[in-house]
Structure 1
Amino acid sequence: MYDPKFDAGLWLSSVVDNSGDAILSKTLDGVITSWNAGAEKLFGFSASEAIGQPITLIIPEDRLHEEAEIIGKLRAGERVDRFETVRRRSDGEPVHIEVTISPVRNAEGEIIGASKIARDIGERLRHAEDQRLLVREMHHRIKNLLSIVQGLVSVGRRRADDVDDFADNLSSRIIALGAAQQLVLGLPGEERSGAALSELIGAVLEPYRDEGQITVAQCDAPVGAGASTSLALLMHELATNAVKYGALSNSDGLLQVDISMTQGNVTIAWRECGGTFDNGDQGFGTELMRAAMRGLGGTIEQAWRDGERVVTICLARDHLTR
């Protein structure tokens, strides 16, 4: 039931004053005539500081042309709806807003000013930018992944003895890549900035640890998402050769991975004892090994010393963290 004591103007004034949005009004000459608490919060000026001042108080110099265009539309009786722009806070910092501007008329219907409702959209824009960067990164990673798989297929096809051999080798390489990527990037919802070098090597070698023939030195040098793919392929190829011809081809062999660091470099010494190494050169001659080293920006050497096969990999630490 209608209450005759109800004051619509007081009610409306209370709604405006308590709105979370910035609500203000101005004359057609651009002088601020009202300024609610939401405007104080958004722009940093108190009502006493803003009222009576030109609206250019909150307009950056490079946006002054917008005010002329807005006034022109208001004089024509047009409403400016959901206009995204940038305004200036009291501390000089820009604030991204979405604003709706409506003409204000007097009792005779003449347009005498404008009311504005502004909302901070900075968080929304930051979220949209994050999404854009995420999609771009996803496209980049998918492109790289497809390129890697294409390379694995091409290399594996030339080296495989039959279809089953090809399928097994390709599958094991993809599993090794997956283990390394999960370690570096984490599972969905996890926040990881990388993995330690010894962790990544251990993850790739994990399928071969059943007989306790493998030891990996501890090293906390960080490995970035970019380097992890090349390093995982390299470690997997070395492990595959060890299983076929080297230390892991028999129960008496031993594989030891030593890691040393200097200020600018990381050296990985892959040591195998107890293998035959009949086809070691063939393994190191593969395009896959060369591509992995190109991706890591390092050097690789192999030698046989007193029945021990030593593969020395030298990597720049700044390449490793990429």
Structure 2
Amino acid sequence: MATESISDRNEMARLIAALDWHNCALGPMRDWPACLRAAVEFALPAHAQIVIFAGDDYVALYNDAYATTIGNKHPTVLGRPAREGWAELWADLEPLLHEVRTTGNTVSAQDRPFHIDRHGYVETVHFDISYSPIRDEGGSIRAVLCIVAETTERVKALKAERRLSAIVASSTDAILGMDLDRNITAWNRGAEVLYGYAEHEILGRPVTLLVPDSRPEEEDLIMAQIMAGNLIDTYETQRRHKNGSLIDVSLCVSPIHDRQGRIVGASKIARDIGSKKQAERLQRLLMGELNHRVKNVLATVQAIANQSFGRDEPERFKPFSDRLRALAQAHDLLIQRSWEGASLASVVDGVASAFGHERFDIAGPDLHLPPRAVVTLSLALHELATNAAKYGALSVPEGNISIHWACSTETATFRLTWQERGGPTVTPPTETGFGSMLITDALAAELNGEVELQHQPDGTVCQVRAPLDASWD
């Protein structure tokens, strides 16, 4: 092999030409057997990854394409015996080379694992390999030609694909795939259970087979989102069973990309929510019945009270009637929220609206009250507003009331201030009535906090302080 002919071709050609072969087991390049020189000439310009292990010591010669696969071993392993350069896998590599060298057979394998140190740590990599003998004119084997292709990433992808396939196959959710023509291309066991079709019955058929006639545009909207590359978050809809019945499902849809990143289809995951929807319908039915009965009870109490002393003692009856209406209003607020509590703003707004919203200055952050606090706070604010209408700021046109509240995340506390301004001079009451006890005692107990009611000359002030707990979200 003439060194001049290879020295200008590529990096490995220059490295091989520059190496001091006199101190190598192979000796000077001019003394190499013609078959080895020819093999090197063949390997150097090739795009395939090629390494040649020559002589009894399996001295390494390789091309540029192979150099990229051995990491920090390059270029120190060039011209060195394989047992030195690949010491960590020599027990695995040597039998392969020995078999080729002694039998003359070609050894090949796909995705063969090797444990190699090429970045400062031993890692498992995979190669497609073809090891074949290089023979001289007399038929003697002088070297082993190794043509390899690293498949580590492909093996990882295949393993991930198999894991994903196993997950899909065993999932109880219905998972299906479809192409851009909306034909079903994949169908798992969960889909068979949910929709009633066996895999062989549904593959290749249009996905619209599962869409109810009442939702003709749904697939068009889904496909438009998929073609835009968007993931469709879980939403509730209906699908059609093989027997024609409609199924309540939660559905999410994702685009499927090919190796070039192009969208080639979509995957759909559906979950049967029939039991959930049935439970929601039953809950609504029971809630409606409960609300109806509670309203009837309140109306009955109102009627009994009206008949008992409303006509004869209207002045004594009115506070009771007003409180009953405030209780009904709080009850209606809870009904609107399915008895899951209500926001403090909605409670305050309800009281302010009953007495003239324009007379109130309301400010505070969004705060959710648990159901138990909604009723008590509604009644307490109603009592304050009633007293203000009789004796305080709401009893004169120029009076007004501010209701401000704030939360402290550092101390986990809540504070509300009721402040009356512009009303007549306030005279503290000489007796403590039911209303005052409702404002101070009942509200403090319900909120597990403190309530301070001050009848100052320029207006009544009520301070509410309470800890925030987990239900105040």
TM superposition score normalised by structure 2: 0.35
Larger Rg: 2
Larger relative contact order (Cα-Cα within 8 Å, sequence gap ≥ 6): 1
TM superposition score normalised by structure 1: 0.49
